[in-house]
Amino acid sequence: MTAFSAKLGMALFREHVGRPMSAGGVYTQFYFNAGLTRGIAKSTLDILPLVGQLQQGKQYSGRQFNYRYNCDERSITAVFAAFHDNLFVRAIAVEDAETYSFLIDEYNSGFVSFGGLREISHAWSS
């Protein structure tokens, strides 16, 4: 789940910044079903005002997949995604990991450094 969350963070960084990540990494958290408390959800949603979902032509993902996000359009994207309201992912993709290292303790999150497929496959096994 850590690797999946990191890939999602990198993909949405690309979507909203307009280019792929070149350095840094992704701070990740994931929750299954009841593992997400209302307090965590509310505090996260309060800082993520923008809404996104998948769209192909006239078809939208709706409640199957949707997310809230915030982005500076340069070097950081924060995302809170919901899959069928059963899996929730919080991912913060940053290019300057050192500046945002406080997120590991503050949000009790894992960190996947950006380094291509080798780094992601390592996270997959952990």
pLDDT tens, residue by residue, 24-38: 999 998 998 778 888
By DSSP bridging, strand 65-71 and strand 25-32 are: unpaired
Six-digit token pair at 88? Answer: 């929730």
Is residue 21 pLDDT above 60, yes or no? yes
- Identify the helix (H) or strand (E) that includes residue 116: none
Domain residue extents for the chain: 2-125
How many of the other CB atoms lie within 10 Å of CB of 78? Answer: 24
pLDDT tens, residue by residue, 33-62: 778 888 888 888 899 999 998 888 898 888
pLDDT tens, residue by residue, 69-122: 999 999 999 999 999 888 999 999 999 888 888 888 877 777 888 765 555 556
The rounded Cα 27 to chain-centroid distance in angstroms is: 7
pLDDT value for 17:
94
pLDDT value for 120:
57
